[in-house]
Amino acid sequence: MKERVTLTIEKEILGKVDQTVNGTDVKNRSHAVELLLTKAFGENKPSKAIILAGGKGTKMKPMTNFLPKPMLRIHDKPILEHNIELLKRHGIKDIIISIGYRGEKIKEYFGDGSQIGVNITYVKEKSPLGTGGPLNLLKGKINDTFVMLNGDELKDIDLEDMFMFHRKNKSTATIALTTVEDPSKYGVAVMNGNKIMTFIEKPSKTNAPSKLINSGLYILEPEVFKIVPEGFSMIENDVFPKLASNDKLLGYVFSGQWFDTDTPNRFTEAEREWQGLK
């Protein structure tokens, strides 16, 4: 429940507050003040994150013959490191990386994470588990809200604001949605307000229900562990539809940068266009 208050603030400070308002991520002055206060009290984010980094990256061969795709470099650092920096920037320093193909390369590079100011532990996929299966390796180990993200994409998301949205709407799962010009290459969200009803896989550009696609980053509640099938599973197909049918799947639309690296052409575009975290 929100209450109206009156504040007296130095003009110079108020000017700095107003500079954070962009009409999208920070909608107005009141929203800006709320975000700043929430951050100050440290109640604005989950404490743990899971990064999925177990895929083979077959579309990126021969670049992935000896490296997992998240270890390919954009701007002189692995894609995975950009994702860790996103989490660290928002104060999330307890990170679990799910590794599989060439996973030793990830462990050799990052170790326990202390050299970059985070705490990294690893779970090993003995065989590929998809985007949902790794959650089974963590049952009983995570008891609070957590972030999960793909380790082979570049994204710049205000995680504090996304968590406030997630918490305010009492969501079980919130998907960060990004807007693309041509959604025909992706799964496109069908929305009812903030609720995600379903995804339409690779619709034609003219028939796409929206231009909103799954950006590969989620805020999840521990109850998702109860509905993940054993073995290989895809969270997009095996978990999210169940949540959507119960109105427990929400979409958070963000305006920051997003690039996938699924093909050589998209990787080249990411190399050229990625501007780093803002």
Instruction: Give the pLDDT of residue 5.
Output: 81
Tell me the CATH number at 150.
3.90.550.10
Q: Is position 47 within any domain?
A: yes
Kindly report, residue by residue over 205-245, the tens digit of the pLDDT.
Answer: 888 899 999 999 999 999 999 999 999 999 999 999 999 99
Rounded-to-10 torsion of CA 82, 84, 85, 87: 130
Structure tokens at 121: 């532990």
Structure tokens at 14: 């108020």
Start-to-end CA distance of the chain, whole Å, equals 31
Structure tokens at 166: 């997630």
Q: Which pTM value belongs to this model?
A: 0.86
Specify the residue for token string 């975290």: 277
* Side chain identity, residue 83: N
For residue 254, the enclosing domain spans 39-273
Kindly report, residue by residue over 109-145, the tens digit of the pLDDT.
Answer: 999 999 999 999 999 999 999 999 999 999 988 999 9
Phi, psi of 115 (to 5 degrees): -70, -15
Rounded-to-10 torsion of CA 121, 124, 128, 130: -30
Low-confidence stretches of the chain (pLDDT beneath 70): 1-2, 24-25, 38-44
Q: Is position 59 within any domain?
A: yes
3 state SS for 40-99: HCCCCCCCEEEEEECCCCHHHCCCCCCCCHHHCEECCEEHHHHHHHHHHHCCCCEEEEEE
Domains in the chain: how many in total?
1
* Angle value at C-alpha 179, between 23 and 151, nearest 5 degrees: 110
3-state DSSP call for residue 272?
helix
Q: Is position 209 within any domain?
A: yes
3-state DSSP call for residue 213?
strand
Q: Is position 30 within any domain?
A: no
Q: Is position 12 within any domain?
A: no
Q: Is position 14 within any domain?
A: no
Q: Is position 7 within any domain?
A: no
